[in-house]
Amino acid sequence: MISDAAAFHRFGLGPRPGDLDVGDVRAALRDEIGDRAAARLDSPGLLDAGGALSAMIAIRQAQAAARNGANNMLLMVEPQDRVTAETINRDEIAARVARVLGARIGFVDRLVAFWNNHFAVEASSGMDERALVGAFEREAIRPYVLGSFRDLLGAATKHPAMLGYLDNALSVGPNSPAGLAANRGLNENHARELLELHTVGVDAGYTQADVTALARILTGWTFVARDALSGPPVGSFIFRAQAHEPGVQTVLGIAYPDDGVGQGEAVLDFLAAHPATANHIARKLARHFVADEPAPELVDRLANTFAASGGDLQAVAVALIDSDEAFADERRLKPPQEFLWSAIRALGITPAPRQVVAILTSLGQPLFNPPSPEGFDDDGATWLAPDAMTTRLDVAEQMALAASPALRPGELAEAVLGDELQSGSLVALLAAESEVQALTMLLMLPEFQRR
């Protein structure tokens, strides 16, 4: 069984000095997820999806005006206070850093990171997605990670970030009035990822026909993409009946009558309650927190809890930390984001958003920007390349230089590693030539790098 100190690194964001005095770590983890609203992040000044999209509309309008008035150089000037995708992203990152530094343990935020990666959206896929990824996490992920999986699935599926990223907003039923008028057709991206990644998983036995049928069902699922004098505000989910493919559709052997938006809601109900979804989620969750090949008993326990509770994610999280298998002595290298969060918590430093972007990009796991809809790989070996460790060393030194000179590396190591700290490691820290060298060594210790 791992120690309490190791549990802080496995299930949380890494301890700050004083955090290991919590006592019963399982009780502390349960307490942190006791409030179903604990994951919410309502920092002042952050734009909701509608505000972010409206800002992008304003940028496009300004760009169009600049093109139309090319001789007027004043139109080419970007005001310093203009809201852009980059400024929106910067503010979102600053809010996450504050959250990381303030979290008691960070189990809730680790769950947020897991689910945000499960419903992955790439910031680099477009200007709108870059502006929306923070709002997506705050609006579609955080309110639901300790609630119902069905609610989480619905919120993620219908958010403008996901509808835009997976092109469902552009998908039109070929036999719908809009499809017949404009000779437009299906886009299957969203339907495929819903089955393969978000619910039942690739081994559930669905076919290409199921993907196509689900894509037909999801036609008309879009969002308000421009300002209007009346109607729902920008960013709101809407169902466009004119673009919806008519007729009965069959997915995984179940026939769904054409009930407008209700046809898609019924499929989401079915997928959320499917046994394959329970197994898919349970294995991913156990893999994320425990081991590349988690104990089958743990996966079964999580899947059974998911099914018996109707997809209650708080109950599943409790089952995880109540399982002895989750505390098995299996260590893996922290992914870059977890390494950075645990480092700044240990050192008590607050990196600027641009530093966070630069560090996580150099380490290969940029915030809000996974490489594909599959998200970042949870396989520990992904982060073990020799050049990756060299980069970690550079980052560790950079953070050590930013730390307070009043820190005492030996005392700090004992405070954030507890019983995990090896005697040889402590001797090496105390023999370092400088405080910066010692703090750099602390961040690179195997006891700190693994969880």
Give the pLDDT confidence of 213-258 residue by residue, as tens digits. 999 999 999 999 988 777 899 999 999 999 999 999 999 999 999 9
- What is the spatial distance between Cα 238 and Cα 221, in angstroms, rounded to a whole number? 6
- What is the spatial distance between Cα 450 and Cα 333, in angstroms, rounded to a whole number? 4
- What is the spatial distance between Cα 228 and Cα 111, in angstroms, rounded to a whole number? 37
| 424 is a domain residue | yes
* Residue 392: pLDDT over 80: yes
Residues 251-292: pLDDT tens digits? 999 999 999 999 999 999 999 999 999 999 999 999 999 999
| 205 is a domain residue | no
76 or 105: whose pLDDT is higher? 105
Residues 434-447: pLDDT tens digits? 999 999 999 999 99
Count structural domains, the chain.
Answer: 1
| 436 is a domain residue | yes
| 353 is a domain residue | yes
| 400 is a domain residue | yes
Buried b (16+ CB within 10 A) or exposed e, 97-119: bebbbebbbbbbbbbbbbbbbbb
| 371 is a domain residue | yes
pTM of the full structure: 0.95
Q: Could you tell me what percent of the chain has a pLDDT over 90?
A: 89
| 346 is a domain residue | yes
- What is the spatial distance between Cα 430 and Cα 71, in angstroms, rounded to a whole number? 66
Long-range contacts of 39-42 (CB under 8 A, 24+ apart): 39/108, 39/109, 39/111, 39/112, 39/141, 39/142, 39/143, 39/145, 39/146, 40/138, 40/142, 40/143, 41/95, 41/96, 41/99, 41/137, 41/138, 41/142, 42/138
- What is the spatial distance between Cα 218 and Cα 251, in angstroms, rounded to a whole number? 12
* C-beta neighbour count of 224 within 10 angstroms: 17
R_g (Cα) of the chain, nearest Å = 24
| 427 is a domain residue | yes
Summary mean pLDDT of the chain: 94
Yes or no: say if 7 and 327 are a contact pair by the CB < 8 Å rule: yes
The whole domain housing 403 covers: 336-449
Residue 270: burial class (beta carbons within 10 Å; 0-12, 13-18, 19+): middle
